[in-house]
Amino acid sequence: MSIRQANAAAVPTAGRKRRKAEKTRRKLSHFLWGAILPATILIVWQVLGDRELISPLLFPTPLVIADSFVWLWNSGTLNDNLFVSLYRTFAGFGLGAGLGLALGLFVGLSRSAEKLLDSTVQMIRMIPHISVTFLFVLWFGIGDTSKILLIAKGCFFPLYIYSFLGVRGVDNKLFEVTRVLGYSRFKQLVRLVLPATLPNVILGLRLSLAIAWVSLVVAEMMGASSGLGFLMMDARAMSDTPTVFVGIFLFTLLAKITDSLVLFAERRLLAWRDSFER
Amino acid sequence: MGATLLEIRELSKSFQTDSKTVQALRQIELDVKAGEFVTVIGPSGCGKSTLLRIVAGLDTGYQGSVTLDGQSIAGPGIDKGFIFQEPRLFPWLTVEKNIAADLSLRSPEVKRRVGELIELVRLNGFEKAYPKELSGGMAQRVSIARALLRNPKILLLDEPFGALDAFTRAHMQEVLLDIWKRNGTTMIFVTHDIDEAVFLGSRIVILKPRPGEIRAKINVDLPYPRKKASAAFQNFRYEVLSEFEKIDELSWGESGAGI
Ligand SMILES: Nc1ncnc2c1ncn2[C@@H]1O[C@H](COP(=O)(O)OP(=O)(O)OP(=O)(O)O)[C@@H](O)[C@H]1O
Ligand SMILES: [Mg+2]
């Protein structure tokens, strides 16, 4: 460790550049390996479709789907609906995750709040998510509100549970340290409880995001007049399977991108953890 | 060495568990002068940590009186530095931020003092390292620096070098004596290593278990730096050892607690 540091200090830029290049190469090779299987599947799919071995209606080939994507994009339909869906997701996620975090921390910090609130929250958590979608649409209409609230409801619980567990899991030994160092209650919260809870919060965020996308699809398919889910529902009614596939593809991509963003943030914010390589 | 800093009178402490009461300390009388280096030694479970935690203000609910600078101890605070057996660093903070803790490194004064302390505990080059990158000895030195930054009136050390190997431990003892000489901080150092107690202490307090009572107080009139191989050192060692043998005879078959 100290030797490596000494080396790095002696040839700072050259060493760092070389290490960076090596890292990039490793990442690229990792990516290529991971891409082999999906690429093969796409090619086989395309070939089977071209030879009409699989139904073009049930399984439009990748090229047909791509065509449909380009058409939807150029016509502006996709843009509009995509934007609406993104807005709903992030508004719902922000609302639900924010409330879940705040309430989880609060209940974690206060035993009386736990006694008062936790059993109720746990009961609400057991209500099957999908089963209330229809009610939400009835109550709040087919516009944004019902979607945002449904997503918020889904995102609330992971953050509530994980931030609660995080607060309760703070090492008592570190609490003693803060007492010996004369921290006020506020400093204990900001400088011990919050950073110690961060790994749990990030875990909760990842779970919440996954739930957010699923909730969005369900909500938009059950009753909406715009959004990606609506686009898919509409296409299904007209047996336009390529568009349905475009929708599936986009949802997958969006969920993956947001998950990667959280992972990236995690790597940055939790570099101090033992289990993470820097 | 100056006036009495810490005054412990008729201190008793017992713990209530579900079924029984454990008397951890009984009728402890101890005065510590400013600038003294007191080592406390005794078999496992004799109440050494309890004693230290009471002085630190971490444990309450005792009988008797404990005063620091004439004030009875209300709770933990930065005037009483505490070094635990484990380093207990904040894993999300770098070395220098761990030392600064709630003080901001943006203040030039804090920055300068932290730099000095890093120098003192010989951790130059590791300012930006995270605790996971440190060895046990290095981490413990960070926790010592963290306590020293607050200029405590008294530094309480609970077997701080217990988990270290012999080499690192010897080195850390030198570092601690160095700090003591430079800053004149009053020290209470708990250990169950006789060599360590004699090597460091200007006075040794020997505790006996069940219940925890002071068995003997020995003044170690040896100049620093002490040579562990010298005859004078060995004499003090024997004196402490013979006190221990008496404890063993007293609690034979009941405790069996060795050192
Ligand atoms: N929180 C507690 N609850 C109940 N009993 C306790 C508690 N803390 C300490 N004791 C009891 O008090 C006695 C003294 O404990 P203490 O930790 O002070 O011993 P020690 O001298 O530091 O031992 P060691 O050398 O093993 O660290 C023990 O018998 C222990 O079981
Ligand atoms: Mg102890």
Number of structural domains found in chain A: 2
Per-domain boundaries in chain B: 4-85+148-163+176-258
**Sheet strands (E) in chain A:** none
Identify whether A215 is part of a domain.
Answer: yes
ipTM over 0.90: no
Tell me if A155 is assigned to some domain. Answer: yes
In whole angstroms, what is the distance from residue B236 CA to residue B203 CA?
11
What gap in Å lies between CA B8 and CA B3, rounded to an integer? Answer: 14
Q: Are B181 and B27 in contact (CB under 8 A)?
A: no
A93 and A133 share a domain?
Answer: yes
Which residue's CA is the nearest one to ligand 1's atom 6?
Answer: B15
Instruction: Determine the residue type at A160.
Output: Y
In a domain, A191, yes or no: yes
Q: Euclidean distance between the first and final Cα of chain B, in Å? A: 31
Strands B186-191 and B37-41, sheet pairing: parallel
Residue A275 is assigned to a structural domain of this protein: no
Preceding peptide of B152 cis, ω within 30°: no
Q: Is A172 exposed, middle or buried (0-12, 13-18, 19+ CB in 10 A)?
A: exposed
Co-location of A134 and A173 in the same domain: yes
Same domain, A215 and A116: yes
- Assess whether the previous peptide bond of B211 is cis (omega < 30° from 0): yes
Interface test with A, best of B55, B88, B92 (most A CBs within 10 A): B92
- Of B2, B195, B124, give the one whose Cα is nearest residue A2: B124
Ligand 1: does its nearest atom lie under 6 Å from the Cβ of B44? yes
Cα B223 to ligand 2 centre (Å): 29
By the CB < 8 Å criterion, does A187 face chain B? Answer: yes
Q: What confidence score (pLDDT) does residue B251 get?
A: 57
| Residue at a domain's end among A12, A27, A54 | A54
Residue of A nearest to B90 (CA): A174
Lowest-confidence segment of B81-90, B162-171, B222-231 by average pLDDT: B162-171
* Residue B204, burial from CB neighbour count under 10 angstroms (0-12, 13-18, 19+): buried
Closest atom of ligand 1 relative to the B47 alpha carbon = 18
User: Which CATH number is A95's domain given?
Assistant: 1.10.3720.10
Yes or no, beta carbons of A176 and B58 under 8 Å apart: yes
A66 inside domain? yes
User: What are B14's strand-pairing partners?
Assistant: B23
The model's pTM: 0.81
- Kindly give the confidence (pLDDT) of every residue in chain A, 278 residues in length, as a single tens digit, with 9 standing for 90 and above: 444 444 444 445 667 788 888 888 888 888 899 889 989 999 999 999 888 888 888 888 899 999 999 998 898 888 889 999 999 999 999 999 999 999 999 999 888 888 898 888 888 888 888 888 888 888 988 888 999 999 999 999 999 999 999 999 999 999 999 999 999 989 999 999 999 999 999 999 999 999 999 999 888 888 888 889 889 988 888 888 999 999 999 999 999 999 999 999 998 888 888 775 54
Nearest residue of chain A to residue B135 (CA atoms): A1
Measure B34 CA to nearest chain A CA, in Å: 20
Helix (H) or strand (E) holding A152: helix A144-168
Q: Is residue A55 within a helix (H) or strand (E), and if so which, with residue range?
A: none
Contacts of A14 (CB under 8 A, 6+ apart): none
Residue A138 counted as domain residue? yes
User: What ligand has the least distance to the C-alpha of B258?
Assistant: 1
Least CA distance to A270: which residue of chain B? B92
Check whether residue A84 and residue A163 sit in a common domain.
yes
Same domain, A130 and A224: yes
Fold of B4-85+148-163+176-258: Rossmann fold (3.40.50)
Distance of CA A28 to the CA centre of its chain: 24
Same-domain check for residues A207 and A229: yes
Whether residue A245 sits in one domain with residue A149: yes
Residue A189 lies in domain: 62-269
A134 and A196 co-located in one domain: yes
CB-nearest partner of A195 from B80, B92, B132: B92
Residues A90 and A136 in one domain: yes
Within 10 Å of residue A142's Cβ, how many Cβ atoms? 17
